[in-house]
Amino acid sequence: MAELIDSGLLRRDLVAELLGRRGNSLVIAGLGSAAWDCAAVKNNPLDFPLWGAMGNAAMIGLGLALARPERRVLVVTGDGDMAMGLGSLATIGSQRPENLALLVLDNERHGETGMQKSHTAGALDLAGVAKSCGFGRVSLVRDEAAWVDSLPLLLEAPGPTAVIAKVRPENLPRILPPRDGVYLKDRFRAALLGEE
């Protein structure tokens, strides 16, 4: 077993804190652990948790942010998903949606498939990539104080913003969102459109 990363940050605490302050933000949750972290807070109709589509959480967030410029869009995802969709950072940096923020829960592992080391355990610097792609404000978070400082980037700073949080690689109980993709899509649309 490879050495664990040295972080005291617990992903479910971070997600609970962020979602507790989300207001009416729309949330796209990347597959696996990130979706379970969001479901652990609440089974919320304004969340769209992914069950697959690895690499696409940020792109779905971009589409939603462009379609709904009046709403804050939060993408909560893992480093493996973000690494698979690396090009999406370039597209977001070019489009520059002011209402889009990304939280990457970087455990340097592929959690769902057995905690294999991911690219961020090696050379990949997601914060550096986001910066070089044109994200206005990017934060690499390794401790509680940096996390607290970074919350406004996620919740209110003009986007696109990205917070890469180095979290402890934990194997947590799986708290699953509803499994039916059509149901999740319809529920999300009804919750969003029903407000208008």
Contact residues for ligand TPP (CB under 6 A)?
Answer: 30-34, 52, 54, 78-81, 105, 107, 109-113, 118
Q: Identify which of residues 184 and 192 has a Cβ nearer to ligand TPP in the complex.
A: 184
* Residue 119 Cβ vs ligand TPP, minimum distance, rounded to whole Å: 9
Alpha helices in the chain (DSSP H): 11-20, 33-41, 57-67, 79-84, 86-95, 126-132, 144-155, 181-193
d(CA 167, CA 16): 14
Q: How far is the CB of 138 from ligand TPP (least distance, A)?
A: 18
Which residue lies nearer to ligand TPP by CB, 56 or 161?
56
For ligand TPP, the closer of residues 30 and 93 by Cβ is 30
Nearer to ligand TPP, 25 or 33 (CB): 33
We find the least distance from the C-beta atom of residue 195 to ligand TPP, in angstroms, to be 30
Residue 89, both tokens: 């950072």
d(CA 26, CA 41): 14
**Spatial contact of 57 and 77, defined as CB atoms under 8 Å apart:** yes
Helix (H) or strand (E) holding 141: strand 137-141
At closest approach, how far in Å is the CB of 182 from ligand TPP? 19
